[in-house]
Amino acid sequence: MGKANPQLELLPGTLDMLILKALGRGAMHGYGIAQILKQTSDDVLQVGESSLYPALQRLLLNGWVAAEWGASDNNRRARYYTLTAAGRKQLAAERADFDRMVAAIQKVLATA
Amino acid sequence: MTKLWRRLRYLQQRERMEADLAEEMAFHRAQLERDGAPAVAMGNVTLAREDARAVWIWPWLESFWQDARYGLRTLRSQGGFTAVALVALASAIGINTTPFTLFNAMALRPWPVRDPGRVVNLFRSMRGGVAGYGNAEADYLAAHSRSLSGVIAMDNREDVKSGGRTLHLTVVSANYFQVLGVQPVAGRGFLDAEDRAGAPEPVVVISDALWRNQLGANPAILSGGSPLRIALDEIPFTVVGVLPAEFTGTSPLRNDVWIPRAALKLLRPHDPSVEEYLTSPRTCCVSVAGRLAPGVTRRQAEAEIGLLINGYRASQGLEQGTRALVTGTAWMEAPGKKDKAAGAVVLLFVAVTLVLLLACANVGNLLLARAAARHKEIAVRLSLGGSRARVVRQLLVESSLLAIGAAALGLVVAYIAPPFLVARLGSDLVFHVTPDATVLGYTIAIAVVACLAFGLAPALHGTRGQIASAIKSEARFGTPRLPLRSVLLGVQVGISVLLLGAAGMMVRGLQRTAHLDPGFDVARVSAVTIGLPASQYGGERTRAFTEQLVAQLDRVPGLPLCGISSDSPLGNSHTSTALELHPGEAQQRVTFHEVSGGYFEVLGIAIVAGRNFTAQDAGRDSVLLNQTAARRFWPGENAVGKTFQSNARARTVVGVVKDAYTSDLGAVEPTMYFPTGGDRGVPLVLVRDPGPGTIERIAAIVKELEPRAELKAEPLSENFRQQMQPAIYGAAVAGFLGLLALLMASVGMAGVFAYAVNQRTREIGVRMALGARPAQVVRLVLGSSLRALVVGAVAGLAGTAAMSATLVRVMPGLQPSDPAAYAGVLALLAAAVALASAIPARRAARVDPLRALRWE
């Protein structure tokens, strides 16, 4: 991969699910979420501010995550997000939908 | 809903939320830099922040915009419905905003002065009554009060003549314009030196209207060149200032000229009471106002003024016990005004609110019919996953579009109607009737309430229902009729019956009042008013003139009997005085008139006990009472020969006269008649059956005594007519509202009937195929609404009966249970039902069975 390879665009609607999933590990600030997504996807998913923060606001608005100010590991003030009960439910639902969608797409690709 | 709440909380705490976002993004960038990420990875920071912020607001606005556009399209495609609904709502809103605009202008607005919120009126409550202060007390307050940065005194005095014109005059303290912050557009206000009782100055400040319309906008005053002079009651005054057009004075009446209080001495040189009026601590009252000093509250000012005034009165050996009242300058805020205005104003606002409610029920019913017609569309939207809340919102947006349009039209009415009405009343009242922020707020408030009232119920109702069944078939054979429709129909009928009932009672009351016997002969008596050059008379001169006049009228041969009176019968004179039946007893108030013996003979008021006044009584202490007063003061006794104290004089009752409405048509008050003395100004002359030349002969007698006197003769029936005027206006307003209500209800009924015919076309077809006659079909259609009509009418009549108690208090002479009024209302309603059902019934009777069965 590396620099030569352009970053992949996320499938529409999947970022919210990925954030929820990342938060499943515990409270995290925005930068931390971006780092986790980058690391766990082997640098394929590089989420910028321009999509990360609108997504987080959307999740806040829907009540799927909660936010609270705390101290970061280098002792700066950072805003930590946690998954709410509604968010957990939403994640499960989205995940099921997504799995079915991917399975369907793959099936089409395999047979066509 | 929690989402909505979160959104609202975001909007409320917006600044903090945005600061949070900015800080957390800054943190993000700092972390990136620390980890050595390339600058390009950060992207456009501002854009990112905008995007994140937009999450909260944008989709919301966008969906509203969608709803609005969709709603507008629907409304436009149903032009007929939209027009009917708009006209109904706009007239109802206009009918609400118009009286409110007038009321706002008359009663709720403070004086048109600088920083009006800090200007206050000063009253006192003393011995249970509310009063003002005397000039001397006002001067004392001006000199000593610290809670008020300025104290002014003002008094609307009798009109003055200037070159054949009548001008409204106010006398004011010298600091009046300065304290109020009214800057003359030309010249100046008054100087302190111009308001000294010992050295009055003939100076006057005039209104913009007077300067423009009657002095030809004479520029001399502007240039400061040769002084401009005008004569007030023949006394020359120098114009020192012209006021801006916005300042119309400190009373609801138009005012033309202002002079310093002391100048009253120049205007009335022969009236000894002026000196007392200006300086005596015993004289009451003028209007007193002040400007609150910075940081002082009204309560604090009240405390200080109370202390000052009681101290001052103690030093003058006068009764203490004043409790100071400090109020705003809007008319409504003056003590006691609220109660006075309450009855009629509350009734009017109840009536117009009922009209609004009726319009809401009307439009609500139209919407309901539409919702039924749109059942399929709504069902499809629901089944495609639109939440019920979303569809309800769509319908509510549609109704708020209607409400907004209607409110805009209503505001137009509020701009046009009040000036027109004020012009019709043609009075000397000055109103700034242009709607202001208060009116705008009121209009918006009633539009919002109306929108929810007529929009919410049908929206909820229309989105209820079973999705599946609605899509399958729209002809719902034999389904129960929507009860909400009947409720709304009943409300319309009830309200129109109520308003018509009130109007009917008022019209009947008018008819009765028109034939009311005021207790004296209105038809045959004329009143001759005598105007003397005011600055030449007053005090002893007026008394002498009156004595000579009475003597001459008796002496001149061939003149019919004349009566002399201080005020005109039915002329709304309520001058009262205090009397003590026994020394030291509580005082009683009694209305009084100064009259000659001829008064009772000319008017035909019978003497029921004792004797009439004779020429010898003039200036003596004899009095006559009316029956009400005699009964009140000496119940069960003969009042003749009794004595009592009034204004420190012993009075003796020489006779009792029959009750008559000598003040107004409202009620007979306890009344006392004094013999003519001339103390209350020039009296008027009452003549019975003035033949040709009679008035001229009286004029000749008067002119002989004073060549410059002016005379005006008017029949007493004119006073009677004016007494009826408020009742005529009241009945006209009630009648207008009642008929409008009936019209709206008729349109509403016609809509319901037409809907019923439409809904049941198949059923009607079947019945007709089975041999039903057209009459039976018509009955079938009307029958479904009959219960709503009857219940509505009964409730309306009950409401009328309940309201009549209040009505009677406002409009004396009404009879609460007037069968003719009730019968008339029911007849009108029946006619309206017949009219409203005519077209739908004909259509029902003409349903072609074959076509109806083939429908679908």
Mean pLDDT in residue range B747-753:
83
* DSSP result, B778-797: HHHHHHHHHHHHHHHHHHHH
Please tell me the predicted confidence (pLDDT) of residue B41. Answer: 53
Spell out which residues of chain B touch residue A68, defining contact as CB-CB under 8 Å: none
Q: How many CB pairs under 8 A join A and B?
A: 73
Q: Do A79 and B52 touch (CB under 8 A)?
A: no
Q: Which of B164-168, B645-649, B672-676, B826-830 has the lowest mean pLDDT?
A: B645-649
More confident residue, B853 or B728: B728
Q: Confidence band (pLDDT; 50, 70, 90) for B475?
A: very low
Please tell me the predicted confidence (pLDDT) of residue B480. Answer: 43
Question: Could you tell me how many residues make up chain B?
Answer: 856
What would the pLDDT profile of B548-568 be if each residue is shown by its tens digit?
888 888 887 778 888 888 888
Q: Confidence band (pLDDT; 50, 70, 90) for B80?
A: confident
Residue B31 in contact with partner chain A when CB distance is under 8 A: yes
Number of Cβ within 10 Å of residue B856's Cβ equals 7
Q: Which residue, among B649, B654, B600, B650, has the nearest Cα to B623 in the 3D structure?
A: B654
CA distances from B324 to B126, B129, B730 (A): 9, 12, 37
Is the pLDDT assigned to residue B150 strictly greater than 90? Answer: yes
C-alpha dihedral (B514, B519, B521, B522), degrees to nearest 10? -40
Q: Which of A91-95, B41-45, B272-276, B485-489 has the lowest mean pLDDT?
A: B41-45
Spell out which residues of chain A touch residue B47, defining contact as CB-CB under 8 Å: 50
B100, with CB counted inside 10 A (0-12, 13-18, 19+), is buried
Q: Confidence band (pLDDT; 50, 70, 90) for B152?
A: very high
Chain B closest-CA separation from residue A106 CA (Å): 28
Mean pLDDT in residue range A28-46:
88
Q: Do A76 and B6 touch (CB under 8 A)?
A: no
Chain B closest-CA separation from residue A13 CA (Å): 14
* Backbone region of residue B519 per phi and psi (left: phi > 0; alpha: psi in -120 to 50; beta: other values): left
Residue B846 in contact with partner chain A when CB distance is under 8 A: no
Rounded CA separation B499/A29 (Å): 67
Beta strand pairing call for B622-626 and B671-675: antiparallel
Is the pLDDT assigned to residue B83 strictly greater than 60? Answer: yes
Q: Which of B37-51, B172-186, B452-466 has the lowest mean pLDDT?
A: B37-51
Q: What is the DSSP letter of B561?
A: P
Give the best residue of A53, A64, A69, A75 to mutate against chain B (max B CB count within 10 A): A53
The packing angle between helices A30-40 and B14-34, to 10°, is 50
Q: Judge contact between B532 and B545, C-beta under 8 A.
A: yes
Please tell me the predicted confidence (pLDDT) of residue B474. Answer: 46
Amino acid at residue number B658: K
Is the pLDDT assigned to residue B344 strictly greater than 60? Answer: yes
Give me the residues of B, 49-88, that contact A with CB < 8 A.
Answer: 49, 51-56
What would the pLDDT profile of B86-109 be if each residue is shown by its tens digit?
888 888 888 888 888 888 888 888
Q: Which of B26-40, B206-220, B630-644, B664-678 has the lowest mean pLDDT?
A: B26-40
* DSSP result, B263-330: GHHHHSTT-THHHHHHH-TT---BEEEEEEPTT--HHHHHHHHHHHHHHHHHHTT-----EEEEE-SS
Q: Confidence band (pLDDT; 50, 70, 90) for B465?
A: low
Q: Judge contact between B792 and B493, C-beta under 8 A.
A: yes
Please tell me the predicted confidence (pLDDT) of residue B435. Answer: 73
Chain B closest-CA separation from residue A109 CA (Å): 30
The packing angle between helices B45-77 and B2-12, to 10°, is 120
Spell out which residues of chain A touch residue B63, defining contact as CB-CB under 8 Å: none
More confident residue, B673 or B841: B673
- Selection from B269-273, B410-414, B670-674 with the highest mean pLDDT: B670-674
Q: Confidence band (pLDDT; 50, 70, 90) for B263?
A: very high
Chain A closest-CA separation from residue B14 CA (Å): 13
Tokens for B297, please give them: 């509250």
Q: Do B28 and A63 touch (CB under 8 A)?
A: no
Q: Do B25 and A50 touch (CB under 8 A)?
A: no
Rounded CA separation B52/B30 (Å): 19
Rounded CA separation A1/B249 (Å): 87
Q: Judge contact between A23 and A66, C-beta under 8 A.
A: no
Number of Cβ within 10 Å of residue B74's Cβ equals 18
Is the CA virtual torsion B214, B217, B223, B226 positive or negative? negative
Amino acid at residue number A12: P
Please tell me the predicted confidence (pLDDT) of residue B478. Answer: 38
What would the pLDDT profile of B568-590 be if each residue is shown by its tens digit?
888 887 777 878 887 777 777 88
Furthest CA-CA distance within chain B: 125
Is the pLDDT assigned to residue B250 strictly greater than 80? Answer: yes
Chain A closest-CA separation from residue B391 CA (Å): 20
Q: Do A57 and B3 touch (CB under 8 A)?
A: no
Per-chain mean pLDDT for chain B: 83
More confident residue, B156 or B667: B156
CA distances from B684 to A97, B526, B550, B678, B700 (A): 99, 10, 11, 11, 15
Residue B26 in contact with partner chain A when CB distance is under 8 A: no
Mean pLDDT in residue range B771-796:
81
3-state secondary structure B739-762: HHHHHHHHHHHHHHHHHHHHHCHH
CA B612 to chain centre: 43
% of chain B residues with pLDDT over 90: 18
Spell out which residues of chain B touch residue A54, defining contact as CB-CB under 8 Å: 48, 51-52, 54-55
Rounded CA separation B596/B624 (Å): 11
Q: Judge contact between B130 and B336, C-beta under 8 A.
A: yes
Rounded CA separation B507/B807 (Å): 12
Please tell me the predicted confidence (pLDDT) of residue B778. Answer: 74
Q: Confidence band (pLDDT; 50, 70, 90) for B309?
A: very high
Give the best residue of A50, A59, A73 to mutate against chain B (max B CB count within 10 A): A50
Radius of gyration of chain B (CA): 36
Rounded CA separation B328/B301 (Å): 13
Is the pLDDT assigned to residue B666 strictly greater than 70? Answer: yes
More confident residue, B733 or B556: B733
Rounded CA separation B613/B670 (Å): 19
Please tell me the predicted confidence (pLDDT) of residue B318. Answer: 86
Q: What is the DSSP letter of B106?
A: I
Q: Judge contact between B145 and B324, C-beta under 8 A.
A: no
Is the pLDDT assigned to residue B60 strictly greater than 60? Answer: yes
ipTM above 0.90, yes or no: no
Q: Do B2 and A60 touch (CB under 8 A)?
A: no
- Selection from B129-133, B672-676, B850-854 with the highest mean pLDDT: B672-676
Rounded CA separation B466/B487 (Å): 22
Per-chain mean pLDDT for chain A: 85
Please tell me the predicted confidence (pLDDT) of residue B105. Answer: 82
Is the pLDDT assigned to residue B473 strictly greater than 50? Answer: no
Spell out which residues of chain A touch residue B31, defining contact as CB-CB under 8 Å: 31
Number of Cβ within 10 Å of residue B47's Cβ equals 11
What would the pLDDT profile of A86-108 be if each residue is shown by its tens digit?
999 999 999 998 899 889 999 99
Tokens for B627, please give them: 């029956």
More confident residue, A13 or A49: A49
CA distances from B553 to B178, B531, B550, B685 (A): 51, 17, 5, 9
Residue B33 in contact with partner chain A when CB distance is under 8 A: no
Q: Confidence band (pLDDT; 50, 70, 90) for B177?
A: very high
Mean pLDDT in residue range B189-204:
90
Using CB atoms, which residue from B3, B29, B44 is nearest to A50?
B44
Q: Do A79 and B42 touch (CB under 8 A)?
A: no
- Selection from A86-100, B54-68, B447-461 with the highest mean pLDDT: A86-100
Please tell me the predicted confidence (pLDDT) of residue B755. Answer: 78
